[in-house]
């Protein structure tokens, strides 16, 4: 390799090193430190004995799915009131999960797992994966099977994001089995499309395993970097993960543009020019690779368009975006047009994307919707409000690959302002996947919901009667993040 190539490789590796290490060091340690370790087994056994004394008869009397669901929800409400007792909190949530699973009520079981994941150092995705087959076996009603299938799909997204295609294949089969029992033809069609995509991704990933092994030993190997970069950017369409590999690869055109992208742009006009460069490269390629590059050009055009000054350059960007929109989100030959974004994709953007000036809108708010999306979280005189039950739909300007949602209830007087809610997400505004269920207990102030990356176009926030504040629902601020901030909300 020529000296200048060694120098280039060294500079790119140095440039990327801090980014590669950040999620595994400071941020991960802060998140882990905020959670409790699992209670000692002796403490768990003692807490379980107390729970048995308090609720044993109700456990024995819960025979039907409906009775078990009601009992699981009661345990969840009790758990919300025992956070000062880690062992008791853990055991109540654990039993609630098991009872809901026995009832075939996967949404409530996942609710318990979500609560465990927020409080303790567990792997929620692993626990969900272990719970799903049990809930699927216990499910009897069509709506229960549908719920199981939809929850399995969210785990498929996670497995694809991790390049765990063996797990994604297994989960897709489980989703298909549940989907067929739900008798929902559209859902079955969606799962079949996703299953086809998983198979294609699995084959493509197998072709780069040798290159990945080479990079473990020789990170600067240009041929291996190109192979891996092409997979992530042009097949999986995960440019965030693949762009650095293209910068280290031996394709001159891809390397040049990747390096420009890593360097960044200083103005919307520069961003549009980078979009032009990707557009021009796409014209020299064919098939799905051309589509992948065109869509990537579109991501630069979208960022530039919002703040470009009016003129012919902006007209050209708008025209090209219209042409790119005809490609659609699907980059794999699949019957499901939304499968590509369903499989864990969507745009990634830094900062809070739930802002009105970013194109986000909200419907369903009865009074003062503007404060919800204005980016101001400290003005007690400014809040969105509805009478419960209410349903607010937050719609983003595009599909984002979100990892965290935060919102703040009006909390100047927390003793008489307590709330209940459920939240779900959708990548197409039609089919919703449950995110969190807080319909029991009472919730105040900031709500922070962390989850595995998922594509989101709309969020459904449902406010439920709590018996407080005349059953009104008051939210001062709503935020959504592709890259969650390290600092807590304030």
Q: Is residue 311 one of the residues assigned to a domain?
A: yes
In a domain, 372, yes or no: yes
Domain boundary among 313, 344, 375: 344
304, part of any domain: yes
Q: Same domain for 378 and 275?
A: no
Distance CA(148)–CA(144), nearest Å, equals: 6
Answer yes or no: do 321 and 391 share one domain. no
Domain boundary among 322, 344, 366: 344
Domain shared by 338 and 361, yes or no: no
What is the domain range of residue 288?
270-344
Per-residue confidence in pLDDT tens, the chain, 490 aa: 444 444 445 445 544 444 343 333 343 344 444 689 999 999 999 999 999 999 999 999 999 999 999 999 899 888 888 888 999 999 999 999 999 999 999 888 988 888 898 889 998 888 988 999 999 999 999 999 988 998 888 788 778 888 999 999 999 999 999 999 999 998 898 899 889 999 999 999 999 999 999 999 999 999 999 999 999 999 998 888 899 999 999 999 999 999 999 998 888 889 899 999 999 999 999 988 999 999 899 888 877 877 778 788 889 888 998 888 777 543 333 333 333 343 335 677 778 999 999 899 999 999 999 999 999 988 888 899 999 999 999 999 988 888 899 999 988 765 677 899 999 998 888 888 888 888 877 888 899 988 766 889 999 999 999 888 778 899 999 999 988 887 777 7
CB-based contact 90:116 (threshold 8 Å): yes
Q: Residue 249: inside a domain, yes or no? A: no
CA–CA separation, 309 and 429 (whole Å) = 31
* Single residue among 317, 344, 371 that ends a domain in this structure: 344
Q: Are residues 446 and 365 in the same domain?
A: yes
Is 432 within the bounds of a domain? yes
Quick one: 313 and 380 in the same domain?
no
Is 441 a domain residue? yes
0.75 exceeded by pTM: no
Q: Are 362 and 337 in the same domain?
A: no
Would you call 123 helix, strand, or coil by DSSP? coil
461 and 408, same structural domain? Answer: yes
Distance between CA 280 and CA 285 in Å, rounded? 9
List, in sequence order, every residue forming a beta bridge with 437; answer none if it has no partner. Answer: 422
Give yes or no: residues 393 and 435 share one domain: yes
């Amino acid at each position: 390799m020529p000296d200048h190539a060694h120098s280039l490789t060294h500079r790119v590796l140095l440039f990327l090193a801090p980014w590669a290490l950040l999620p595994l060091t400071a941020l991960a340690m802060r998140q882990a430190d905020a959670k409790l370790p699992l209670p000692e087994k002796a403490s768990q056994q003692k807490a379980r004995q107390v729970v048995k004394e308090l609720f044993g008869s109700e456990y024995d009397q819960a025979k039907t799915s409906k009775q078990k669901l009601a009992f699981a929800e009661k345990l969840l409400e009790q758990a919300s009131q025992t956070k000062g007792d880690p062992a008791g909190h853990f055991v109540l949530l654990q039993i609630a999960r098991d009872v809901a699973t026995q009832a075939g009520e996967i949404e409530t079981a996942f609710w318990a797992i979500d609560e465990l994941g927020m409080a303790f150092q567990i792997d929620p995705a692993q626990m969900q994966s272990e719970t799903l087959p049990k809930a699927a076996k216990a499910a009897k009603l069509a709506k229960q099977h549908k719920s199981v299938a939809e929850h399995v799909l969210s785990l498929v997204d996670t497995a694809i994001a991790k390049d765990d295609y063996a797990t994604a294949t297994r989960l897709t089969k489980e989703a298909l089995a549940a989907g067929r029992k739900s008798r929902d033809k559209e859902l079955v069609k969606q799962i079949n499309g996703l299953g086809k995509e998983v198979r294609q991704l699995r084959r493509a990933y197998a072709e780069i395993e040798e290159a990945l092994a080479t990079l473990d030993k020789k990170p600067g190997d240009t041929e291996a970097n190109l192979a891996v970069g092409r997979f992530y950017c042009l097949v999986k369409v995960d440019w965030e993960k693949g762009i650095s590999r293209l910068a280290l690869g031996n394709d001159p055109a891809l390397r040049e543009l990747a390096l420009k992208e890593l360097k960044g742009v200083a103005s919307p006009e520069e961003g549009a020019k980078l979009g032009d460069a990707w557009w021009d490269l796409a014209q020299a390629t064919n098939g799905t690779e051309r589509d992948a590059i065109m869509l990537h050009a579109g991501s630069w055009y979208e960022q530039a368009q919002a703040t470009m000054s009016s003129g012919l350059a902006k007209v050209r960007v708008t025209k090209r975006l219209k042409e790119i929109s005809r490609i659609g989100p699907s980059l794999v030959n699949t019957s499901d047009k939304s499968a590509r974004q369903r499989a864990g994709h969507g745009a990634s953007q830094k900062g809070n994307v739930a802002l009105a000036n970013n194109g986000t809108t909200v419907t369903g708010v009865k009074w003062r919707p503007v404060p919800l999306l204005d980016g101001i979280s400290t003005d007690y005189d400014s809040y969105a409000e509805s009478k419960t039950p209410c349903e607010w739909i937050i719609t983003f300007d595009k599909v984002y690959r979100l990892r965290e949602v935060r919102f703040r209830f009006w909390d100047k007087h927390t003793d008489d302002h307590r709330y209940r809610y459920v939240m779900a997400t959708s990548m197409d505004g039609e089919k919703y996947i449950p995110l969190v269920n807080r319909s029991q207990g009472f919730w105040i102030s900031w709500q922070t919901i962390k989850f595995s990356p998922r594509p989101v176009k709309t969020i459904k926030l449902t406010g439920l009667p709590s018996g407080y504040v005349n059953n009104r629902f008051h939210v001062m601020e709503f935020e959504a993040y592709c890259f969650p901030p390290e600092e807590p909300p304030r």
